[in-house]
Amino acid sequence: MTAAAKTDVIIYVVSDSAGDTGELVVRAAIAQFHPIHADIRRAPFIQDEHALLRVVEQAKAQGAILLYTLVLPNLRSELSRLAEEKGVVTIDLLGSLVASLEEKTGRKSRQEPGLNHALDEDYFRKVEAVEFAVKYDDMRDTTGILKADIVLVGVSRTSKTPLSMYLAHKKFKVANVPLMPELKPPDELFKLRKDKIIGLTIGVHYLNVIRKERLKALGLPDSASYATTSRIEQELTYASDVMEKLGCVVIDVSHKAVEETASLIMEHVTRRS
């Protein structure tokens, strides 16, 4: 997001580990309020009360929400105290669940941050997939197309990048390719098995609204050709022709959250294997 972009809400994700869990939950919630713009800021590997105080003071100054996934009880209680003292809205993502599990099982939690990130093969596969998605995002390097588990194609603002990152966290290597009339699709697309390609389409009106909001967020007039109905229709017609040539599955992402579209994609991938 650029400096000119409008931010609707700032959310700090505070963790005594990496903060992946908290950020995923925040993004899932934010998806229900599209197209608001959230500034998600991680405060990872918090170890002491001084670090907590700094984060709470920053959140107070910016009118932010604090979501935390603190495993250590002393850090949880101190954050709760500080937030109440400063009048900061907080959400404890783990505390209540851990307490309920302790009561139900009669066992104490291990109170070890980062256990869900044990450095096993599964974790490294996820890291590798995320790095792949970043490297081969938006056709920066077309060599990734033939290496990918999934290739997403579609016009601008059909959620290609968010879907790539979401699927990467599910350990899929995803490349994505923008389709526009002025840009010839890479030859690698036509060498790939069609069941590895997912076409993303969207309704004209819905895309018009999304693109206008994007232009406003960038401080640009919403009358730019990028968001006009005629330009959108031209792009979608072109993209539809390319997808037909590719023979790929096409998913309409209109009014769908990223998680819902990703679920449909994973179902398709499961069926092909």
Contact 90, 80 (CB under 8 A): yes
7 three-class SS:
coil
Q: Cβ neighbours of residue 119 under 8 Å, at least 6 residues apart? A: none
Output DSSP code: residue 48: S
- Among 108, 95, 99, which residue's Cα sits nearest to residue 69? 95
Contact 129, 174 (CB under 8 A): yes
What the block records as the tokens of 209 is: 């609204």
Contact 199, 246 (CB under 8 A): yes
* Annotated binding residues: 154-161
Distance, CA of 169 to CA of 22 (rounded, Å): 14
Contact 180, 238 (CB under 8 A): yes
6 three-class SS:
coil
- Among 149, 199, 153, which residue's Cα sits nearest to residue 172? 149
- Among 210, 191, 194, 199, which residue's Cα sits nearest to residue 255? 210
Distance, CA of 153 to CA of 143 (rounded, Å): 15
* Annotated binding residues for ADP: 154-161
Q: Which residues pair with 39 in a beta bridge?
A: 10
